[in-house]
Amino acid sequence: MKKALKILALSLLIIIAILMALPFAFKGQITDAVKSYANKNLNAHLEFSDVSLSLLKSFPQVHVEVNDLIITNFEPFKDETFLSSKNIAFTMSIKELFKSDADGPLTVKSISIDKALINLKTDAAGNNNYDITKSSNSDIASESKSDEGFTFDIENYSINNSTFNFLDEGSNMLFSIAELNHSGKGRFSGTISELDTHTEALVSFTMDSTAYLNNNHIKLDALIDLDLEHSKYTFKDNKALINKLPIEFKGYVQLLETGQDIDISFENPGSSFKDFLAVIPANYSKSIENIQTTGNFKVKGTIKGKVTEETIPTLDISIVSNNGSFKYPDLPKSVENIIINTQIKNETGYVDDTYVNINTLNFKIDDDAFKSSATIKNLTKNMLVNANVDGTINLANLKQAYPLELDQDLSGILKANIHTFFDMNAIETNAYERIKSSGTMRITNFKFASSDMANPVNISKANMTFNPSTVTLNTFDATTGSSDITANGYINNLLGFLLNDSTLQGHFNVNANNFVLSDFMTSESENSTSESTTKTTETKDETLKIPAFLDCTINANATNVAYDNLNLKDVKGTLVIKDQQATLNHLTSKLFDGNLAVSGNVSTKNETPTFNLDLGAENFDIAQSFSGLDMLQAIAPIAKALEGKLNTKINLKGDLTEEFTPNLNTIFGNAAAELLTTKVTPQNAAVLNKLENSLNFVDFEKFSFNDLKAYLEFADGKVTVKPFKFKYEDIAIEVSGSHGFDKTMAYNAVFNVPAKYLGSDVNKLINSLNDSKANSITVPVTANISGSYSNPKVSTDLSSGVSKLTNQLTEIQKQKLIGQGKDQLNNLLEGLTQNSSTSQPTTASDSIASATNDTKSNSTEQIKENVKNVLGGLLGGKKKKQDSLN
């Protein structure tokens, strides 16, 4: 007995070892079979990561798995995924592994497909990506079935957690089934057999950008008779759930050579109004388990006829409810007197003849009654809509009667009596002549919030009249933020804006007591994500954007307009908003006790907002304007030391910052400025203090820039000032140079200083010459200004100027002492005077030195020493003003 048990145990071990080893022996055969089938039958590229075989998983059947299968298309859908699956498993008899081509096709008993994705697509030219089977000719068609590769004698099958998409680019239609779980049990081999199926999925359907179904939950249990000989499938005991609406149906589908023959009828088994709420997706209707309802609701329909390339089945579907009502237990109000009478019909079998009649759609909340009706035709092409709306809605009651999820509470009273007739193509192409609307609409105390607006808009009153081609805005009173608006005008495409996400086009006359520009800007968040090994962080950058949905012209008249830190008074002009750009045309206002005129544009279309503006200022108060405008401070920093009036014309282009202020490093343009009745306060500018300390013959408090004109250019973060001249008493001054927006400076100021300002001793020496021409002698002094606004650096050539003047006076006096004639002196003085008047004193002094170069005397050296003593104080520090200006 022991020996028998040992033999039995050894035999079992051998059998198990064989069962484990055989799959490796047949793995290559299975792989070759799959590849051979693909090459013979598919006009597409097939790949898979592995094929495995097991004799233990489904013993005595053999279990075959194909992992990571993917099929990609050839042209015209090159490299697009047609089908992919994480795993496909087959079970079959082990004898199927030993078949050759001559023994016939492989017979499969069961199939399981996991995480499959199927993309069916028809492009605009009519090409189908699912036409991947190789075409056969008459010779191949006449061959035996042994060449077909596989046949199915399936007892059960399943599709798990899979997705199916169908896209028709020609009709702009997308049908999608997600989270598909489908299974079936039965036999396909008999002439008449029965299949028991269970299906659960999320279904979406979109056509022409309109979502008719959006992840609606579908559940279907169907018992189907299979007449395989006649390709007829009859539904015997079938129950479905659309969201939570139960539907029972019966009928059949038969496959024909030219299409399908369909005869199906369906209805909801109950009649409670709760069934209507069950149709609405749970995301919107929330829990309806404890909801209180009255009245009835019935869905009933038939689908009958042939599906061919030219026809569809006829349709007769009705949705009816009489005197329905519902109340959510946790909400204070109910919706009552609900009457629904809707039909979906097609009486000809041609898809274009399908239409929807909403004969009645009425309801009441509190004392507000709403009535509507509509007819919608030509659903698949240029949809035609004929609708009527008449009623009153208190918007605040909507959330109190129905579980709406809103970012902000709705409020306001809407009253409408409107009839409209249009086709969708007319809305999309702005063919206003085909949009026929009439009636009135009134909104009071309405509050509107949107991500496209910076603040909620509170409309106290708005009256509109609907005309055949436009909507006339008769009155409009609103506030947003701290702004108030009254307006009238017209809107060209209100329906396009509401139904088709079109831009809001119109022309408006707008008046405001207070208009704050930032109240009308949207804050756009841009998310950026950075990953690390431990966590993910998210940062947000907000940029102001001009709303993209606006395409309008606004004639504005505002008492006060606030932009950044500016307050503009009596603003008038035209604002054109289009394509995220605001264009100002001849806008005028009062600002800084003067007048401002602006034309140009601001654009937020690109990632970085830009501006291009022409500004004209007349009689601006300099102190106010340069303290209120950072840009003017950067253009002319010294102006904060000025008091008086300014006229200027400025052209500027550049980028705007996130705060909608000019990015100074990006601007370029030019300016012309004229200063009127101006005085200087040097204490307000460090550079003037430094310059005054370096030049003791100037007193900036006595400066006046009346009628001074200057021209500036902006580029590369720098302001270049073209040379301009002015006078301080009888000192001629010329200034030129540049400064950067980084507050660095590089300027030259040339002072042509008359010698008489250089002290009383110098004046005595000049008077001793007893010649009027000596009084016109000037000394050019150049001040080089560098450093920064807060820490300026000033250097002058005053020392060399004084030395030249000393030489000039020494030589003149020497000529008189050595008795050379007055004519020679006059000639020298004449040359000196002429050169001084042309700002070339250096050349004049050289002429004097050359003429007297050979004359030497002891008296000359003494005179020279005296003159140096007189002028020496100028080099050592600032002299008293009564001495320097004698």
Q: For the segment 446-485, what is each residue's pLDDT rounded down to a tens digit?
A: 987 776 677 888 999 999 999 877 889 999 999 998 999 9
- Of 436, 498, 430, the residue nearest 467 (C-alpha): 436
Q: How far is CA 367 from CA 292, 322, 418, 463, 645, in A?
A: 20, 19, 20, 22, 65
Domains of the chain by residue range: 37-133+149-170, 592-741, 744-886
Which tens digits make up the pLDDT trace of 336-357?
999 999 999 999 998 889 999 9
Q: Is it the case that residue 269 has pLDDT exceeding 70?
A: yes
Distance of alpha carbon 561 from alpha carbon 554, whole angstroms = 15
Which tens digits make up the pLDDT trace of 132-144?
776 654 444 444 4
Q: Is it the case that residue 616 has pLDDT exceeding 80?
A: yes
- Residue 616, Cβ neighbours under 10 Å: how many? 14
Phi, psi angle pair for 768, to nearest 5°: -65, -20
pLDDT (mean) for 830-842: 44
Q: Which of 93-97, 313-317, 515-519 has the highest mean pLDDT?
A: 313-317
Contact 728, 853 (CB under 8 A): no
Q: Is it the case that residue 866 has pLDDT exceeding 60?
A: no
pTM for the model stands at: 0.60
Which range among 4-18, 202-216, 342-356, 593-607 shows the weakest confidence by mean pLDDT?
4-18
Q: Quote the percentage of the chain above a pLDDT of 90.
A: 24
pLDDT of residue 326: 92
Which range among 27-41, 461-475, 557-571, 859-873 shows the weakest confidence by mean pLDDT?
859-873
Q: How far is CA 266 from CA 272, 302, 304, 318, 763, in A?
A: 17, 6, 12, 11, 121
Q: Is it the case that residue 306 has pLDDT exceeding 70?
A: yes
Residue 765: HSE in the Cβ half-sphere, 13 Å Cα cutoff: 28
Please state whether beta strands 504-516 and 550-563 pair in parallel, antiparallel, or not at all (unpaired). parallel
- Of 504, 444, 429, 511, the residue nearest 471 (C-alpha): 504
Q: Which of 188-202, 432-446, 632-646 has the highest mean pLDDT?
A: 432-446
pLDDT of residue 759: 61
Which tens digits make up the pLDDT trace of 756-804?
776 665 666 666 666 666 667 777 888 899 998 888 898 888 777 666 7
Q: Is it the case that residue 745 has pLDDT exceeding 70?
A: yes
